[in-house]
Amino acid sequence: MDNVFIEGLEVDTLIGAYDWERDIRQCLRLDLTFAWDVSAPAAEDDLGKALDYASVSASIEAFARAARFELVETFAERLAAALMSEFGITWLRLRVTKPGANPAARGVGVEIERGCR
């Protein structure tokens, strides 16, 4: 199976368990890999058969704007389910990084895989 990816997508969202975090929007950095057969869209040069990066990115940004989670884990789980449902994705890997959450680290977060290849 082929992979399509979006790397380093930054979105602002309301995320965090601490009281001070509940009043601000914070940046999350997302790296996504999707199982997607690229042979049909490539053969016909047909965007309609491809996984449209712009549409996926717009959906992620809308999700992040509306999200109100305490945990990065919850953000990741819910986003993965939404993308799989909306775009018919059978497998994905999603890495969510919260930069600045730990001053001694470049970022912290989670990486999940959902679905079947």
Q: What is the C-alpha separation between 4 and 18, in angstroms, rounded?
A: 35
Give the CB-side neighbour count of residue 32, counting CA atoms within 13 A: 25
91-105 core/surface letters (b: 16 or more CB in 10 A; e: else): bbbbbbbbeebeeee
Catalytic residue (choose from 13, 30, 98, 109):
98
Clarify whether 98 is annotated catalytic.
yes
Q: Which residue numbers are catalytic?
A: 98
